[in-house]
């Protein structure tokens, strides 16, 4: 009996160690105070985005929840205000699947908000469909919408320097690819719609996030605006929400035991937004609150520059702005 109890105790101890050291990941320990500063977090009505917004609100920031679902975002803003004790948490409508909506958001924000100190490009989707302009949804939302949004807000970021742009990518960028002829012909990162193709498109959109951050850093050198991309970890809610109901039921026990919750998943985003002394690392990629190496494609400056030029053309950025 004693031996069995010892074995059980050892297993429980091992699980606790693995969970908190390996799976739970590091936590942002920055002591930065954000009173008087303004932050935008896209896709912040749920999951990592909501946890990120809460963390920033607790630091005293004015937090703009930039989301497409008014009802859910206003409920999230209420929750965050209540939990943080910070009344400066507000919703502004932004649908990244519409470049018109991105422009309207930027116009409304610039008219109503005098500051922008941190922009967090958090929103992300994986699945079938097209944006309002006909782009594949993963490319259009995860990369192109954020590309346009960031560019439209750059002047305000520069006025409030030192400021930061943080883009949530993913480790899956390692499996991504950017096929420019395919983008020109199909307005998408993949040639067909299927479960596998949707996954490939998501991976490639995350590579676009990494490349965008790299080129943005090159263009902003010396301006006082720095930028970072990151892998937030494998998050329970994000992994399971796109699965069928029976797969969710199978995955739930494993996910609850071993995968990160949204609070833990927000820590690297908060680290990149708040940690002191990161300025020399602008353009780099982080995971588990630490600098990490990206895959070879993510370090390709020529690829990053070409993606930027193609994205400018797709968004009419050079013509209209």
pLDDT digits (tens, 9 = 90+) for 160-189: 999 999 999 999 999 999 999 999 999 999
Tokens of 53: 């917004």
Name residues whose C-beta falls within 8 Å of residue 170's C-beta, 6 or more positions apart in sequence: 124, 202, 203, 206, 209, 231, 232
* pLDDT tens digits, one per residue of 14-41: 544 444 444 456 888 888 899 999 999 9
DSSP summary character for residue 299 = G
Give how far Cα 42 sits from Cα of 12, 215, 219, 233, 301, Å: 38, 21, 23, 18, 26
Tokens of 299: 């370090």
**Mean per-residue pLDDT, 145-155:** 98
- Indicate the pLDDT class of residue 68, thresholds 50, 70 and 90: very high
From 202, 228, 236, 271, active-site residue: 202
285: annotated active-site residue: no
Residue 242 has pLDDT above 80, yes or no: no
Q: What is the largest CA-CA distance in the chain?
A: 77
Is residue 265 within 8 A of residue 231, CB to CB? The reply is no
Is residue 40 within 8 A of residue 282, CB to CB? The reply is no
Cα-based angle 103, 106, 110 (whole degrees, multiple of 5):
145
Domains of the chain, with CATH numbers? 35-315 (3.40.50.720)
* pLDDT tens digits, one per residue of 43-57: 999 999 999 999 999
Residue 261 has pLDDT above 90, yes or no: no
Q: How crowded is the C-beta side of 70, counted as CA atoms within 13 Å?
A: 1
Beta bridge partners of 64: 40, 90
Rounded to an integer, what distance in angstroms lies between the CA atom of residue 21 and that of residue 15? Answer: 10
Please indicate, yes or no, whether the overall pTM of this predicted structure exceeds 0.85: yes
Helix axes 195-220, 301-314, angle to 10 degrees: 100
Name residues whose C-beta falls within 8 Å of residue 126's C-beta, 6 or more positions apart in sequence: 138, 198, 199, 201, 202, 242
């Amino acid at each position: 009996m004693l031996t069995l109890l010892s074995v059980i105790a050892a297993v429980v101890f091992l699980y606790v160690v693995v969970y908190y050291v390996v799976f739970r990941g590091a936590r942002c320990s920055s002591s930065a105070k954000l009173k008087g500063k303004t932050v935008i977090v896209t896709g912040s009505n749920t999951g990592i985005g909501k946890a990120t917004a809460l963390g920033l609100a607790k630091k005293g920031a004015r937090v703009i929840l930039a989301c497409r679902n008014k009802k859910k975002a206003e409920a999230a803003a209420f929750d965050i205000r209540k939990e943080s004790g910070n009344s400066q948490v507000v919703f502004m409508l932004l649908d990244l699947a519409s470049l018109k909506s991105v422009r309207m958001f930027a116009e409304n924000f610039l008219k109503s908000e005098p500051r922008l100190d941190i922009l967090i490009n958090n929103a992300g989707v994986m699945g079938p469909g097209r944006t309002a302009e006909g782009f594949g949804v993963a490319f259009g939302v995860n990369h192109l919408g954020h590309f346009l949004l960031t560019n439209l807000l750059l002047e305000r970021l520069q006025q409030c320097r030192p400021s930061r742009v943080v883009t949530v990518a993913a480790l899956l960028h390692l499996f991504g690819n950017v096929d420019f002829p395919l983008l020109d012909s199909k307005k998408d990162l993949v040639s067909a719609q299927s479960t596998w193709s949707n996954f490939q498109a998501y991976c490639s959109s995350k590579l676009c996030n990494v490349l965008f951050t790299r080129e943005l850093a090159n263009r902003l050198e010396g301006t006082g605006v720095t930028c970072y991309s990151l892998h937030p970890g494998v998050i329970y809610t994000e992994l399971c929400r796109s699965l069928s109901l029976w797969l969710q039921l199978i995955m739930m026990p494993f996910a609850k035991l071993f995968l990160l919750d949204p609070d833990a998943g927000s820590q690297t985003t908060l680290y990149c937004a708040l940690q002191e002394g990161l300025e020399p690392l602008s353009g780099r990629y982080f995971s588990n609150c630490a600098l990490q190496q990206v895959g070879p494609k993510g370090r390709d400056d020529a690829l990053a520059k070409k993606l930027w030029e193609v994205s400018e053309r797709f968004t009419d950025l050079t013509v209209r702005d």
